[in-house]
Amino acid sequence: MQSMVDDQVVPGYSAVIFDKKNEWAATAGVSRWRPTLAPLTAEMVYDLASLTKVIGTVPLIAQLIQEGQVSLDQPVADFLPELGDQRPTIRNLFTHTSAISGWIPHRNDLNCDQLTKAFLQDMSVGVNLNREIRYADINFIYLGWVAERICGAPVQQLITDRIIKPLGLTATTFHPDPDQAVPTEIQPQRGLIRGETHDPKGYILGEHCGCAGLFSTAQDLAHFGRHLIEDRLGGLLDQSMIDAMFVDQTPMPGEHLRSLGWQLYHDPHDRHYVIAHTGFTGTWIMLDRQRDRGFVFLSNRVHPRAKNDEFLRRRGQVMAAFLNA
């Protein structure tokens, strides 16, 4: 991890590695290079990007499942009839096997209402439904809207009220103080992005986005991870819902390494499943329930610009080192 800072692959990082009895935390580097160097502290929050899916939307929908308000194999169109297709299910959204896609011209220039209408009416289900995993944010945007249709409130408010606050995640928020937020990309249209989600869809959809938008610290995410693998997310979830996160949930025969929102990895020693997820901005979380340990890494690899393939190579090396340790 330190070499990523030394080699200027990322400006800085905050990380926590924990097991049942121990916790190791580190913060290194700076919060930004441009327009001027700025210090980084462990208390500063990072844009979690797609970690929002597993920290917020997955446990929210899991709660609704255990309450009997939705089921894994229920058609998405039961809640979002605008889709116009009864075939894709909630399970398809969780496992990215829905084959829902479509082209929206000038997508990033639309407002929230326009983009919502386009996502609901201009998407179609392709031939690879139940045949291929194709990771796509639209699946979790839809899951967020399913929750909204059931509960009658914006998905980000639901996540805040039903997950973040009960777990005591005091640094985790959709509305960070910009002065305490680590910046991401510098863009011609938005300038230095700081305290607002980097994801363009999340930026437009705001509180109605279930695929991105959360900010947090490594310490808060370690708190979340410990609760998930040790006490059913602080008692918010039934054991059956936790178990479902550690089982391949894809609807195709064979092993495809996707559970409820999480990607599955094999422990190299005995092949048990470890769950993990990454975020575009340079974040990841890995949780090993069987060995009671976890790994949270937060960086802003998109600063000052998003293209950073070297980070992806280094990420693979560091994650593999954790799995093999």
Q: Report the amino acid identity of residue 129.
A: L
For 140, what's the count of Cα atoms within 13 Å in the CB-facing half-sphere? Answer: 28
- Rounded CA-CA distance 238/89 in Å is 22
Q: What is the pLDDT of residues 202-244, one digit of tens each?
A: 999 999 999 999 999 999 999 999 999 999 999 999 999 999 9
Q: Report the amino acid identity of residue 11.
A: P
Which residue shows structure tokens 């470890």?
Answer: 274
Provide the pLDDT for residue 231: 98
CATH topology of domain 2-324: Beta-lactamase (3.40.710)
Provide the pLDDT for residue 250: 98
Is-above-0.95 flag for pTM? yes
267 in Cβ contact with 289 (< 8 Å):
no
Q: What is the pLDDT of residues 181-205, one digit of tens each?
A: 999 999 999 999 999 999 999 999 9
- Rounded CA-CA distance 217/233 in Å is 18
Provide the pLDDT for residue 184: 98
**Cα 59 versus chain centre, distance:** 11
State the average pLDDT for the chain: 98
Q: What is the DSSP string of 64-123?
A: HHHTTS--TTSBGGGT-GGG--S--BHHHHHHT-S-EE---TTGGGS-HHHHHHHHHHS-
Provide the pLDDT for residue 189: 95
Average of pLDDT values for 47-68?
98
Structure letter (DSSP) for residue 48? -
Q: CA torsion angle for 103, 104, 105, 107 (degrees, to 10)?
A: -130
